[in-house]
Structure 1
Amino acid sequence: MTAKRILIVDNETRMRRILELSLRAMGHIVSEAGDGMAALSMVERQSVDLVLTDLRMPRMDGIALLAALREKGVDVPVIVMTAYGTIETAVAAMKLGAIDYIIRPFEMETVEMAVTRALAMQAVQRENSFLREEVSRGWKAFVGTSAAMQSLYELIRQVAPTRSNAFIVGDTGTGKELVARAIHEASGRTGLFVPINCAAIPAELLESELFGHVKGAFTGAMRDRIGKCELAGGGTIFLDEITEMPANLQVKLLRVLQEGSIERVGANETIPVDLRVVSATNRDLQQAVESGALRRDLYFRLNVVRIDVPKLRDRQGDIALLANHFLLKHASELGRATPRLGPHVLERLEAYEWPGNVRELENIMERAVVLCRGEEITLGQLPAELARESPNRSSSSVTLVDSAPIDGSLDLKAQVEGLECQLIKAALERSAGNKAAAARLLGVSERTLWYKLKAYRVES
């Protein structure tokens, strides 16, 4: 996670110091204030990403600080800390806009999780704000700030204004149609974006669907019909799962691309079309060509620019953003308050392999919203494959080849640490030094892995 500026507000010096050490260990930049008035002055002078404040303080307490921030229009997430006996005050703080509360006394792990969750929610809000600006320039809503997604955004920006055909490759559920729509909307083309799923339409009907037909062309053709290619004239046609298109239709599509015109089924005249084609498949593209599922000459016409959409497990840093985005979306649709991710839920989400990618994550978050009856998503509201411990280890776990004592001793602590160190080294070796991949193999967060590497002095 990128370092964020966090302001700690508490009149107890010792508590501020403890929180500061923990948050700095997480990689954040920390400022301190002894009461609400000092905090308000600091926020007015410098930008802050998160405020962590006690409720009971002299001069200006936490409630008054919240009210003052809102009055001045300072849009910063606030987490309040409160003693067990004053939960009602915490509820009042939430009504004033606090994003979360922590009951004292607390474990530092609780604070770290609350901070991570609040910053993830803030990132979603900022991302949505960014997307609203992008939509005005022709973008659709993407959620993700990982390096993989930044590369994808940049490629879309480069490809969109050109007339070049593009081929989108990615697993099911990664959002290939979203990428295609973004290319069209940022292209400046005035025509329609017309999607067609080549695998969802029977082969005998697909030709008419693509090119249209004239009355009487076949049984049931009671009137002339415009095809999708003609409808997309001046715009973009998106051919999803194009490797499922029959070979004879691939030949006709190639001719359309070469000549810039289409011929309706049963007609003798050609109709000129200004067409941009964006294609997609979830299959290995080279294998599809070699097996004959996609004609080689058509492949060269379509694959001017190849765009690979990353799997969800390759953009682990976006999981919190996406999960909170979908919680907000489906809670709004159901007319409910948006629940937050409970303890250990995000850890399980980040450890999961996500075979169904973003689509699977959205379905799981929708299910969680439907089942949630409180303010927090719990492990019990996740499917069994996520709720159980170490959900991804059955298929990709790291095992040791030698279970004998490491150094000959029976010191339990030493043996556990030695085994743990061996597992970490094995995971790093298997993942070619990729720490995100190694963390997934081990079923831990990247932060936990970094801590272990430092503790065991493992060179990475």
Structure 2
Amino acid sequence: MSVKRILVVDNEAKMRRILELALKNMGHHVELAADGEEALAAIERGVFDLVLTDLRMPRMDGIGLLNALGERKVEVPVIVLTAYGTIETAVTAMKLGAVDYIIRPFEMETIELAVSRVLAMQTVQRENQFLRDELSKGWDEFIGVSPSMQALYGLIRQVAPSRSSVFIVGETGTGKELVARALHRASGRKGLFVPINCAAIPAELLESELFGHAKGAFTGALSERIGKCELSSGGTIFLDEITEMPPALQAKLLRVLQEGVIERLGANASIAVDLRVIAATNRDPQEAIDAGRLRRDLYFRLNVVRVDVPLLRDRPGDVPLLAGHFLNHYARELGRRTPRLAASAMRQLEHYDWPGNVRELENLMERAVVLCRGEEISPEHLPAGIAPVADKNTPEPLPESLSDPGASLSLKTHVESLERQLIEAALKRSDNNKAGAARLLEVSERALWYKVKRYGL
């Protein structure tokens, strides 16, 4: 069990000391308070995982403390300590939200068992809620039998069992998160897989999402919140689109990776975490570093193992498998029989360039299932842009301008003009990603950089 922060509240100094020693022997961090008012002040200063409180105390007693916690919406489990004569009061405490009570005098073993049980229950409740949220999204396995996918599977099996950070690079829609989930499943780590999309959360909220916050840390922080780093301790945190994280927050993340501790916003206490980090981007990492979007030191920390996810257009043999998988999925969702793909429609899919990768294919198959009223999906159920590519052996007709007897036939001039147009089109299609544009043009990145500089693009 990881180290937890426990607050002991008792007006007897001797009892506080006994409980402190017992809980520290269990490996936990312990703070002490002499009554309810001191306990509330401690809770305002920091975050606790558990409170042990006596019922009878001067100033504010245990019942008053429970009432105050409820009014302030502080979600922390409370175990009450009560004498034989105040069992009725203990029942009242349970109604106010206490999770357990222990009758004094007690054996230390009773305290240890109760504390372990409550902390374990709290962890399970957090994980169950997170898993319910994740299962509601629905996740499909990534599919493929092409050599590039077989190489990817082999790399996942090799890398997964280690704690090393992994940096996944791939265009939008290639399935970077599915790769990250496969790495986690094969890792043997017992904790949760916790994804966070750095591009989908406003910069001012991302730090709270990662590290959590204490009540009152900022406007709107009405209660304390556990962050994704803490939630994924013992498991895997997946930082998608890491280049969209503000540089100042990247520096804080680097410190967390180096020291293995976090601090919730508005709290001074450090919390130890056991993190396995997988990061991903659809950009070229070196371009992101050069543009100041990715800290070089953080990249070196994360890029222990790099995984490049294959593009769908580079593995056309996987298109029929994926198309069939998505057709089955969406037909089941609509409660219909799975339609078959006409040979003409399959040819169009196999020859399409897939700029949106697997995600685009999935969307097209969902659309086809919705539009198809029969048992076969034909080209008419596909968007107009999904058309067969021209036969590479068929020469393109000359532009009409070249049929003019006075038109220039300079090979160099026309080749350079066409080259420039093709490079511009590739850069536009790849969202100015040089690596992606180079793949489209079937040239090396180095050659592309040279051409870009030459044409001033």
TM-score by length of 1: 0.55
2:264 alignment partner, SS class: coil
Residue aligning to 1:371: 371
**Structure 1 residues 400, 385: closer, same or farther in 2, change over 3 A?**
closer
Q: Which residue of 1 aligns with 2:257?
A: 257
Q: Does 1:246 align with 2:246?
A: yes
Q: Is the 8 A contact 1:171 1:282 kept in 2?
A: yes
Matches of residues 55-204 of structure 1 in structure 2 within 5 Å?
141-204=141-204
Match of 2:285 in 1: 285
2:79 maps to: none
Separation in structure 1 between the aligned mates of residue 374 and residue 300 of structure 2, nearest angstrom: 54
Which amino acid in the other structure matches residue 318 of structure 2? D
- For structure 1, the 5+ residue unaligned runs are 1-138, 404-439, 442-460
Shift of 1:370: 1.0
**Retained in 2: the 8 A contact 1:212–1:226?**
yes
Match of 2:215 in 1: 215
1:85-131: CA deviation from partner (whole Å, max 9, x where unpaired)? xxxxxxxxxxxxxxxxxxxxxxxxxxxxxxxxxxxxxxxxxxxxxxx
The CA distance in 1 between the partners of 2:356 and 2:296, in whole Å, is 29
Cα distance in 2, alignment partners of residues 399 and 359 from structure 1? 33
User: Could you tell me how far 1:147 is from its partner in structure 2?
Assistant: 0.4
Over 3 Å counting, the alpha-carbon distance change for 1:246 and 1:376 in structure 2 is same
Would you say the 8 A contact 1:140–1:182 is kept in 2?
no
CA distance in 2, matches of 1:372, 1:287: 43
CA deviations over 1:421-443 (Å, ceiling 9, x no partner): xxxxxxxxxxxxxxxxxxx99xx
Cα distance in structure 2, aligned partners of 1:164 and 1:274: 12
**Equivalent residue, structure 2, for 1:54:** none
Q: Is the 8 A contact 1:196 1:240 kept in 2?
A: yes
Unaligned 5+ runs, structure 2: 1-138, 400-439, 442-457
* Shift in Å, 1:218: 1.2
Are 1:340 and 2:330 counterparts?
Answer: no
Measure, in 1, the Cα distance between the counterparts of 2:340 and 2:218: 57
* Residue identity opposite 1:378 in structure 2: S
Secondary structure class of the residue paired with 2:199: coil
The residue identity in structure 1 corresponding to 2:311 is: K
Q: Is the 8 A contact 1:184 1:236 kept in 2?
A: yes
Supply the AA of the counterpart residue of 1:295.
R
Aligned residue number for residue 108 of structure 1: none
Cα shift readout 1:329-372 (whole Å, capped 9, x = no counterpart): 11111111111111311111011000110011011111111111
8 A Cα contact 2:342 2:376, kept in partner: yes
Aligned-partner Cα distance in 2 for 1:226–1:399: 62
Which amino acid counterpart does residue 211 of structure 1 have in structure 2?
F
Q: What is the root-mean-square deviation of aligned Cα atoms in Å?
A: 2.2
> How much has 1:143 moved relative to structure 2?
1.3
The AA in structure 1 aligned to 2:233 is G
> What percentage of residue pairs aligned between the two structures are identical?
70
Tell me the CA shift for residue 399 of structure 1.
Answer: 4.8
Q: Counterpart in 2 of 1:448?
A: none
Distance 1:371 1:302, change over 3 A: same
Shift of 1:289: 1.3
Q: Using the alignment, how far apart are the partners of 1:320 and 1:400 within structure 2? A: 29
In the TM superposition, what is the alpha-carbon distance from 1:141 to its structure 2 partner? 2.2
Judging changes above 3 Å, is the alpha-carbon distance between structure 1 residues 274 and 140 closer, same or farther for their aligned structure 2 residues? farther
SS of 2:238's equivalent?
strand
Runs of 4+ in 1 over 6 A off after TM superposition: none
8 Å contact from structure 1 (residues 232, 275) kept in 2: yes
Distance in 1 (CA, whole Å) between partners of 2:260 and 2:288 is 26
- CA offset at residue 151 of structure 1? 0.5
Q: Which residue number in structure 2 is paired with residue 272 of structure 1?
A: 272
Distance 1:349 1:269, change over 3 A: same
Q: Is the 8 A contact 1:215 1:223 kept in 2?
A: yes
Q: Secondary structure at the match of 1:249?
A: helix
CA distance in 2, matches of 1:331, 1:289: 44
- 2:191 is paired with a residue whose SS is coil
Distance across 2 between alignment mates of 1:358 and 1:259 = 38
Is residue 243–residue 293 contact of structure 1 (8 Å, CA) maintained in 2?
yes
Q: Alignment partner of 1:279: what SS? A: strand
- Is 2:308 the partner of 1:308? yes
Contact (CA 8 Å) 1:169, 1:283: kept in 2 or not?
Answer: yes
Distance 2:140 2:277 in 1: 18
In structure 2, the CA distance between the partners of 1:397 and 1:280, relative to structure 1 (3 Å rule), is farther
Work out whether residues 180 and 278 of structure 1, in 8 Å CA contact, stay in contact via their aligned partners in 2. yes
**1:168 corresponds to which letter in structure 2?**
I
**TM-aligned CA deviation for residue 214 of structure 1:** 0.8
Partners in 2 of 1:356 and 1:154 — Cα distance?
Answer: 25
Q: 1:202 to 1:156 in 2, by over 3 A?
A: same
Query: 1: distance between equivalents of 2:224 and 2:356?
Result: 40
Specify the code of the residue in structure 1 equivalent to 2:229.
C
Q: Secondary structure, in 3 states, of the residue corresponding to 2:343?
A: coil
Residues of 2 paired with 1:218 and 1:255: CA distance? Answer: 23
Offset at residue 373 of structure 1 (A): 1.4
Where 1:237 maps in the other structure, the secondary structure is: strand
Distance 2:367 2:288 in 1: 36
Alignment deviations for residues 284-332 of structure 1 (CA, whole Å, 9 cap, x no partner): 1111112111000000000100000011001111001111111111111
The answer to whether the Cα contact below 8 Å between 2:142 and 2:175 also exists between their aligned partners in 1 is no
**Structure exhibiting the larger radius of gyration computed from Cα positions:** 2
- Equivalences for 1:419-438 in 2 at 5 Å? none
In structure 2, the partner of 1:321 is 321
The Cα shift of 1:400 comes to: 5.3
Q: Determine the C-alpha separation between the residues in 1 that align with 2:197 and 2:241.
A: 6
* CA distance in 1 between partners of 2:224 and 2:169 (Å): 35
> What SS does the aligned partner of 1:385 have?
coil
The alignment partner of 1:238 has SS state of strand
C-alpha offsets along residues 140-161 of structure 1, whole Å, 9 cap, x if unaligned? 7221100010000000001110
